[in-house]
Amino acid sequence: KAGVTQTPRYLIKTRGQQVTLSCSPISGHRSVSWYQQTPGQGLQFLFEYFSETQRNKGNFPGRFSGRQFSNSRSEMNVSTLELGDSALYLCASSPGTVQETQYFGPGTRLLVL
Amino acid sequence: QKEVEQDPGPLSVPEGAIVSLNCTYSNSAFQYFMWYRQYSRKGPELLMYTYSSGNKEDGRFTAQVDKSSKYISLFIRDSQPSDSATYLCAMSGARNQGGKLIFGQGTELSVKP
């Protein structure tokens, strides 16, 4: 089975712009979670989608949003980018019934200038 | 205080050594405990997961959970240079809490030939 794929792998944006990141989960997986990883804060949970519905949300401002499509692919969007949004954004896929088995993609590295 | 505490290291050991990695946590609701390995510029890779207290072994890796002490460990036997990576502990609560994993800061391990 192919693993979790994320596009793009690298992105450079300027403050105030918006960005959309994409994640394709493992075939058959219905749950997609998004995390932000920074050297200072480590890995932090953004949100999780299951069957096109947001099932859980972390403590991030409303500038961070996401959605899931009927084929389980997911996108996350960050509007009005700030310098502090520079991070590795990781997507994790899970069957959805056994939540602990989350499999991560390679991540999208976002740099905000 | 963070919900999950993990010594960031770095930890340097000679090849063949037994490595002990640890995390402590404060939330008694955590029931699922995981260890991930993350190589530089890659996404985290699931190594081990354990439900509630007890031990689990997989090859050279052993995971231990002591819920009474709120303490989890990962032991690596016969460590190899290829084990050099950052090791992240992660945990979650109720089964249907929707994909939210809480991560430790990660311990950077270097195994010297």
pLDDT band at B38 (very low <50, low <70, confident <90, very high): very high
Mean pLDDT, to the nearest integer, of A82-93?
96
Whether the pLDDT of residue A75 is over 90: the answer is yes
Helix, strand, or coil here: B72? strand
Q: Could you tell me if B96 lies within 8 Å of chain A, comparing CB atoms?
A: yes
The pLDDT value given to residue B97: 57
What is the tens place of the pLDDT at every residue in A8-27? 999 999 999 999 999 999 99
Give the separation between CA A109 and CA B41, rounded to whole angstroms. 9
Instruction: Quote the percentage of chain B above a pLDDT of 70.
Output: 95
- What phi and psi values does residue B81 have, to the nearest 5 degrees? -55, -30
What is the tens place of the pLDDT at every residue in A42-61? 999 999 999 999 988 999 99
Give the separation between CA B38 and CA B40, rounded to whole angstroms. 6
Q: Could you tell me if A45 lies within 8 Å of chain B, comparing CB atoms?
A: yes
Nearest by CB to A56, from B43, B49, B97: name it: B97
pLDDT band at B8 (very low <50, low <70, confident <90, very high): confident
Whether B3 and B27 have beta carbons less than 8 Å apart is answered as yes
- What phi and psi values does residue A15 have, to the nearest 5 degrees? -50, 140
Q: Could you tell me if A94 lies within 8 Å of chain B, comparing CB atoms?
A: yes
Q: Could you tell me if A25 lies within 8 Å of chain B, comparing CB atoms?
A: no
Give the separation between CA A24 and CA A3, rounded to whole angstroms. 9
What is the tens place of the pLDDT at every residue in B52-86? 888 999 999 999 999 999 999 999 999 999 999 99
Query: Angle at the Cα of A42 (from B48 to B7), degrees rounded to 5?
Result: 70
Q: How near does any CA of chain A get to the CA of B94, in Å?
A: 10
The pLDDT value given to residue B94: 62
